[in-house]
């Protein structure tokens, strides 16, 4: 249906995935179609296949491609979306193949665990009455869980999700409305943090992010000129001060988070995208809100949590694709008992990798970037400038504006324009400045 025929190396990759391996494939070798072929084969068992993409944009794009490819085979593809209703999610999981981000599959799993936990607490008589009512209309699905099990999963960019984020927790939480009862504590802690001195009042290890108050710092927290709001404290007063210091010194706007619509929203360091409905724990999020002088929200209550590693191990069969798995082959074997298979390219690689260039300061580096971009733009070569943060992408954009070079910026602030920017990124003379969203 796409007018594309799979190459032998793509069929080989699909075969390795069906056997439960990690396929190392170079960029541009057609991982999207390999995933479709793999999922189509695995779906023949009738128990559903989950295809996990690095972000929601790719999940939506790949799902639409899969729908067209699978329809002649009588197979269906669905998409589990953030904020979708339970009935819509059930419909997506009832499809032969379900697309979504890794964290969305994980959150749906946690939601189901809460549902099952609630049912376990129900009295026997209540469960019996409910089952009798449901038997009156057997044609209607009464599955109360969102998912129908964890049978098969195919993970794109497997090294990032399965190895780099293996120990990261997926936390399902609920937020309460209204101002927090300890609002004054966060504000007072922020004011105090501004006058504390590194080395004297606290010790900070920038490499590890560890921070602790010294004895002098403890004394300063309770000095006569500090009005400790003891009546509203939800944790020790010094914990508020330490979180205020972390917020001020370790977390940077447009790097670790953005402020949008008077809300602090976390940026995923791996994907460069905004984490929807996520917040830091133990009062850190509130400390950052106080720093940014936006409305401080109540702390969310954790309902359930699971690490990526533990979640992936729930699947009966697990496979993945990535361009850089060889360096993590030992970890894949040790953690998941998965073998890494290197897939040959369909054709000889034409790409030429040049040596890194190191400059003695930032000014020299950006001058070299400007010269490079200016030269290749004049001859019509499309250019992608990768940056490590929103802040750096905006710096590069300002430099290009001074050169009067038209360009697009792709970062978490402009994620709504992603499809349009990506679609036109290869046009003659185009310039795209992107975080690792791209």
Q: Which CATH class is domain 8-172+308-342?
A: alpha beta
For residue 36, how far is the Cα from the chain centroid?
22
Q: Are 378 and 372 in contact (CB under 8 A)?
A: no
What local confidence, expressed as pLDDT, does residue 352 receive? 83
Q: Which of 311, 322, 326 is nearest to 35 (CA)?
A: 322
What local confidence, expressed as pLDDT, does residue 316 receive? 96
**171: helix, coil or strand?**
strand
262-269 contacts at long range (C-beta below 8 A, 24 or more positions apart):
262/294, 262/295, 263/294, 263/295, 263/297, 264/288, 264/289, 264/292, 264/294, 267/390, 267/412
Domain ranges in the chain are: 8-172+308-342, 176-299, 362-434
What local confidence, expressed as pLDDT, does residue 292 receive? 96
What local confidence, expressed as pLDDT, does residue 2 receive? 58
What local confidence, expressed as pLDDT, does residue 111 receive? 94
Residue 129 in tokens: 């009455």
Give pLDDT tens digits for 179-234. Answer: 789 999 999 999 999 999 999 999 998 778 899 999 999 999 999 999 999 999 99
What local confidence, expressed as pLDDT, does residue 167 receive? 85
Does 122 have pLDDT greater than 60?
no
- The arithmetic mean of pLDDT across residues 231-249, rounded, is 96
Q: Is 169 exposed, middle or buried (0-12, 13-18, 19+ CB in 10 A)?
A: middle
Q: Which of 72, 12, 9 is nearest to 40 (CA)?
A: 72
pLDDT band (50, 70, 90) for residue 268? confident
What local confidence, expressed as pLDDT, does residue 187 receive? 95
What local confidence, expressed as pLDDT, does residue 3 receive? 63
Q: How far apart are CA 57 and CA 63, in angstroms?
A: 10
What local confidence, expressed as pLDDT, does residue 132 receive? 59
Does 140 have pLDDT greater than 50?
no
What local confidence, expressed as pLDDT, does residue 269 receive? 78
**Helix axes of 183-193 and 284-292: crossing angle, nearest 10 degrees:** 70
pLDDT band (50, 70, 90) for residue 355? very high
412-420 contacts at long range (C-beta below 8 A, 24 or more positions apart):
412/258, 412/267, 412/272, 412/273, 412/274, 412/437, 413/258, 413/260, 415/57, 415/273, 415/274, 418/57, 419/57, 419/61
What is the torsional sign of CA 34, 40, 45, 50?
positive
Percentage of the chain exceeding pLDDT 70? 94
Does 134 have pLDDT greater than 60?
no
Q: Are 197 and 185 in contact (CB under 8 A)?
A: no
Q: Which of 190, 205, 198, 293 is nearest to 243 (CA)?
A: 190
Q: Which of 24, 344, 350 is nearest to 158 (CA)?
A: 24
What local confidence, expressed as pLDDT, does residue 123 receive? 56
pTM for this structure?
0.80
* CATH number of this structure's domain 176-299, picked from the four choices 3.90.470.10, 3.30.70.141, 3.90.1440.10, 3.40.190.10: 3.90.1440.10
Q: How far apart are CA 80 and CA 373, in angstroms?
A: 39
Give pLDDT tens digits for 4-60. Answer: 788 999 999 999 999 999 999 988 889 999 999 999 999 999 999 999 998 888 999
pLDDT band (50, 70, 90) for residue 332? very high
Q: Are 166 and 318 in contact (CB under 8 A)?
A: no
Does 1 have pLDDT greater than 60?
no
What local confidence, expressed as pLDDT, does residue 32 receive? 94
Contacts of residue 178, defined as CB under 8 A and 6 or more positions apart, other chains included, come to 298
Does 84 have pLDDT greater than 60?
yes
- The arithmetic mean of pLDDT across residues 114-136, rounded, is 64
Q: Which of 235, 185, 245, 177 is nearest to 210 (CA)?
A: 245
pLDDT band (50, 70, 90) for residue 138? very low
Task: Give the number of other Cβ atoms within 10 Å of residue 195's Cβ.
Answer: 10
Mean pLDDT of the chain: 89
What local confidence, expressed as pLDDT, does residue 139 receive? 41
Does 306 have pLDDT greater than 60?
yes
What local confidence, expressed as pLDDT, does residue 206 receive? 79
Weakest-pLDDT range from 116-130, 165-179, 387-401: 116-130
Ranked by mean pLDDT, the top range of 33-37, 157-161, 277-281, 427-431 is 33-37
For residue 289, how far is the Cα from the chain centroid?
21
433 pairs with which residues across the strands? 385, 409
């Amino acid at each position: 249906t796409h007018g594309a025929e799979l190459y032998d190396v793509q069929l080989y990759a699909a075969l390795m995935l069906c056997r439960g391996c990690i396929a190392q494939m170079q960029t541009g070798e057609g991982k999207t179609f390999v995933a479709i072929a793999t999922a189509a084969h695995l779906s023949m068992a009738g128990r559903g296949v989950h295809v996990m993409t690095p972000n929601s944009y790719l999940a939506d794009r790949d799902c639409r491609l899969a729908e067209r490819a699978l329809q002649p085979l009588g197979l269906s593809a669905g998409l589990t979306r953030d904020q979708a209703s339970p009935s819509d999610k059930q419909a997506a999981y009832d499809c032969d193949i379900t697309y979504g981000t890794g964290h969305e599959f994980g959150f749906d799993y946690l939601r189901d665990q809460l549902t099952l936990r609630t049912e376990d607490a129900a009295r026997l008589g209540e469960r019996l009455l409910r089952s009798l009512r449901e038997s009156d209309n057997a044609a209607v699905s009464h599955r109360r869980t969102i998912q129908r099990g964890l049978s098969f999963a195919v993970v794109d960019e497997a090294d990032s999700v399965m190895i780099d984020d293996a120990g990261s927790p997926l936390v399902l939480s609920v937020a309460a409305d209204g101002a927090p009862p300890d609002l004054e504590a966060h504000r007072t802690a922020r004011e105090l943090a501004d006058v504390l001195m590194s080395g004297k009042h606290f010790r900070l290890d920038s490499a590890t992010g560890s921070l602790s108050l010294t004895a002098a710092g403890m004394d300063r927290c309770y000095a006569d000129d500090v009005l400790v709001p003891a009546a509203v404290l939800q944790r020790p007063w010094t914990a508020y001060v330490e979180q205020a210091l972390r917020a001020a010194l370790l977390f940077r706007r447009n790097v670790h988070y953005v402020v949008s619509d008077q809300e602090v929203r976390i940026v995923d360091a791996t994907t460069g995208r905004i984490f929807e409905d996520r917040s830091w724990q133990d009062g850190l999020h509130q400390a950052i809100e106080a720093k940014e002088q936006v409305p401080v929200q109540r702390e969310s209550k954790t309902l359930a949590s699971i690490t990526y590693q533990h979640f992936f191990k729930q699947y009966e069969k697990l496979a993945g694709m990535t361009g850089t798995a060889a360096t993590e082959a030992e970890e894949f074997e040790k953690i998941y008992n998965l073998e890494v298979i290197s897939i040959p390219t369909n054709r000889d690689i034409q790409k030429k990798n040049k040596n890194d260039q190191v400059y003695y300061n930032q000014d020299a580096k950006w001058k070299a970037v400007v010269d490079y971009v200016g030269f290749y733009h004049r001859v019509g070569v499309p250019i992608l400038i990768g940056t490590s943060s929103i802040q750096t992408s905006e710096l590069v954009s300002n430099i290009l504006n001074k050169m009067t070079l038209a360009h697009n910026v792709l970062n978490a602030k402009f994620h709504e324009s992603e499809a349009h920017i990506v679609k036109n990124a290869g046009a003659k003379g185009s310039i795209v400045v992107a975080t690792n969203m791209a």
